[in-house]
């Protein structure tokens, strides 16, 4: 039954209502407030195992950035899949907005030791990433001609399934004042609401629900909205089974009492 509840909404999409949380609205409003053609960073700090929750956030953020004609720098602090996921997402969406690699977006790839990487980019991005993910020197990439360090970056969107989000706050936001929004897995989200309350994050997306909210706000209903249909149907099924189980328990309990008399 659970298997059917998961599969059916992907074949026949179930349009369950998705309310918007204040934290997701803050993400949307922060990007909307950016001047057109701003330079932003989109960070792919999640492993392939959490693509279902995290990739819709990254995709929707990219749609949102390019709708405002922002120039996008992608990078990753995750060696397993991060750079390739950034490459796949940007290359797939770029034609829709007529964006060119090297002019409108660049993929810096991965460098080990994320604490040193985040701190080092505060002085010089090129000193940390002398080439992009394909080995092209940054000096040959037009987008990076005007980007030296965080001073030229207007906004950072961190998508993570691990504690790297903490370091973007403690190093980049605290020391350089760059506004940061974050998208994290549902299990990680409760921790980061405090970061929003303190103003260290300008918004937060939590799990597939947060991704679906952002898709709706941007007007790009995608995999997260479809996934929420399956998730909602499974929740309804479980609630129904719990109710049926309790009703059965009390009915059979009364029957046992009658027999004992």
* CATH assignment at residue 147: 3.40.50
Return the minimum-mean-pLDDT range out of 60-64, 96-100, 242-246.
242-246
Confidence band for 232, pLDDT divided at 50, 70 and 90: confident
> Higher confidence at residue 250 or residue 226?
250
Cα–Cα separations (whole angstroms), residue 78 to 161, 237, 256: 10, 36, 59
Structural domain contains residue 9: no
pTM of the model: 0.85
HSE on the CB side for 16, CA within 13 Å? 21
Q: Are 184 and 161 in contact (CB under 8 A)?
A: yes
The residue-averaged pLDDT of 58-78 equals 96
- pLDDT for the residue 174: 93
Structural domain contains residue 125: yes
Structural domain contains residue 244: no
Domain that holds residue 185: 18-223
Q: Are 202 and 179 in contact (CB under 8 A)?
A: yes
| DSSP output for 7-74 | HHHHHS------PPPHHHHHHHHHHHTSPTT-EEEEEEE--GGGHHHHHHHHHHHHHHHHHTT-EEEE
In degrees, rounded to 5, the angle at the alpha carbon of residue 170 between the alpha carbons of residues 87 and 217 is: 50
Q: How many domains does the chain have?
A: 1
Confidence band for 7, pLDDT divided at 50, 70 and 90: confident
- pLDDT for the residue 261: 59
Instruction: Say whether pLDDT at 12 is over 80.
Output: no
Instruction: Say whether pLDDT at 228 is over 90.
Output: no
Distance CA 39, CA 179 (A): 12
Confidence band for 257, pLDDT divided at 50, 70 and 90: low
The residue-averaged pLDDT of 67-77 equals 96
- pLDDT for the residue 235: 78
- pLDDT for the residue 2: 84
The residue-averaged pLDDT of 86-110 equals 96
Instruction: Say whether pLDDT at 222 is over 80.
Output: no
Structural domain contains residue 118: yes
The residue-averaged pLDDT of 26-38 equals 96
Structural domain contains residue 24: yes
Structural domain contains residue 259: no
Distance CA 57, CA 55 (A): 5
- pLDDT for the residue 82: 87
Structural domain contains residue 235: no
Distance CA 2, CA 213 (A): 24
Structural domain contains residue 139: yes
Residue 194: how many other CB atoms lie within 10 Å: 10
């Amino acid at each position: 039954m659970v298997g059917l509840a998961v599969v059916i909404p992907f074949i026949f999409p179930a349009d369950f209502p998705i309310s918007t949380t204040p934290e997701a609205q803050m993400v949307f409003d922060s990007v909307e407030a950016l001047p057109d053609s701003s330079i932003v960073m989109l960070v792919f700090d999640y492993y392939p195992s959490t693509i279902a929750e995290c990739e819709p956030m990254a995709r929707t953020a990219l749609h949102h950035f390019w709708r405002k004609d922002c120039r996008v720098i992608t990078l990753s602090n995750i060696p397993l899949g991060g750079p390739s996921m950034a490459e796949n997402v940007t290359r797939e969406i770029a034609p829709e907005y007529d964006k060119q690699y090297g002019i409108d977006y660049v993929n810096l790839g991965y460098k080990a030791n994320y604490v040193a990487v985040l701190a080092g980019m505060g002085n010089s991005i090129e000193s940390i990433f002398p080439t992009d993910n394909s080995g092209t020197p940054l000096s040959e990439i037009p987008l990076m001609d005007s980007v030296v360090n965080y001073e030229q970056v207007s906004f950072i969107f961190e998508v993570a399934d691990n504690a790297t989000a903490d370091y973007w706050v403690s190093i980049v936001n605290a020391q350089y004042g760059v506004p940061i929004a974050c998208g994290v897995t549902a299990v990680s989200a409760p921790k980061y609401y405090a970061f929003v309350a303190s103003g260290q994050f300008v918004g937060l997306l939590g799990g597939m629900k947060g991704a679906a909210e952002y898709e709706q706000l941007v007007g790009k209903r995608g995999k997260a909205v479809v996934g929420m249909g399956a998730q909602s149907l499974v929740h309804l099924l479980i609630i129904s089974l719990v109710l049926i189980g309790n009703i059965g328990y009390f009915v059979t309990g009364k029957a046992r009492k009658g027999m004992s008399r």
